[in-house]
Structure 1
Amino acid sequence: MSIQETQSVEETRQVMEAYAAEHDTSLIAPDAIFHDIASGQDYIGREAIAGMLHYVYHVAFQAGAEEVRSTIGDGAAVLEAVIVGTHIGEFAGVPATGREVRIPLVVSYRIADGYVQEASVYLLVSTFLQQVA
């Protein structure tokens, strides 16, 4: 295991702003891990994480994330957002409904060596299920 350099607040802010602008997967470490807390699934590696993000924002939903607030520290960031869009594909066992959704989301990030190294994703699936029932 390599020793990772913790990012300063400003370096962390730069990585997060660039990543958040377009989910720029080049800012995700090649061996990063994203933990989907709701499902218990881990996405390991840049390609798997990019696939998961594409699925959520372009296959299950035609959506974007609206930031509510963020907090940034040395090598760590927390984003509170709402996924806003249309349910266009299967998600959480529910086939496409065409309904507009607003799903609360919190993501806790660990940043080191200029990359997102790890994230824990908290998506309120119960809110989604209430909106499409």
Structure 2
Amino acid sequence: MSVDTTRKTINAYIDSLLHGGDFASFFSDDVLWTTMETGEQVRGRDAVRDYIVALHTQAFTASPEVKRFVAADDVAVLEAVFVGTHVAEFAGVPATGKQVRLPYAVVYDLSGDTITALNAYFPVNALANQLRSAAPTG
């Protein structure tokens, strides 16, 4: 695939993600999400979509703040900031109402105009530590 095709695909995906569109339509049937810090994996279009939606609308009311995007043949990298409010349990921490800002990156593998893998360099432990510092002490 050309760099131009990669760029167009990821730009359309990000636009869909940010504006409530069907971002999962960009995923292959067996797309694989991997949280690189923990090794957690989620496979399949619906499962990955649900995972992303849960993170942004259930555990948090959040959205990505896009910083940079780089495209090459069959691969793209997004640098962003996770911005939101902690509204439900996450990583064993009950809702705190805390506002969070956390930098992260995602590496996307593509085949044609389809995303086949997302490797998320999302610092789960740093986020959990932010929340624990805000949680009421017992």
Q: What CA RMSD, in Å, does the superposition of the two structures yield over aligned residues?
A: 1.1
The superposition leaves residues 27-78 of structure 1 with CA deviations (integer Å, 9 ceiling, x where unpaired) of 0111111111122111111011011001100001100000111111111001
Counterpart contact for 2:13–2:26, Cα < 8 Å: yes
Structure 1 distance, partners of 2:81, 2:41, is 21
The worse-fitting range, judged by mean Cα deviation, of 120-129 and 50-59 is: 120-129
Asked if residue 22 in structure 1 is aligned to residue 22 in structure 2, the reply is: no
The alpha-carbon deviation at position 127 of structure 1 amounts to 2.9
Matches within 5 A, 1:1-133: 7-23=1-17, 24-132=23-131, 133=133
Q: Secondary structure at the residue paired with 2:5?
A: helix
Q: Secondary structure at the residue paired with 2:120?
A: strand
Counterpart contact for 1:110–1:117, Cα < 8 Å: yes
Counterpart contact for 2:74–2:112, Cα < 8 Å: no
Counterpart contact for 1:103–1:125, Cα < 8 Å: no
Could you say which residue in structure 2 is the equivalent of 1:4?
Answer: none
Structure 2 distance, partners of 1:45, 1:112, is 15
Give the fraction of aligned pairs with identical amino acids, expressed as a percent.
35
Q: Secondary structure at the residue paired with 1:95?
A: coil
Q: Secondary structure at the residue paired with 1:89?
A: coil
The alpha-carbon deviation at position 131 of structure 1 amounts to 2.4
The worse-fitting range, judged by mean Cα deviation, of 119-128 and 74-83 is: 119-128
Q: Which amino acid aligns with 1:78?
A: V
Gapped regions of structure 1 (runs ≥ 5): 1-6
Q: Which amino acid aligns with 1:73?
A: A
Gapped regions of structure 2 (runs ≥ 5): 18-22, 134-138
Q: Which amino acid aligns with 1:53?
A: I
The alpha-carbon deviation at position 115 of structure 1 amounts to 0.5
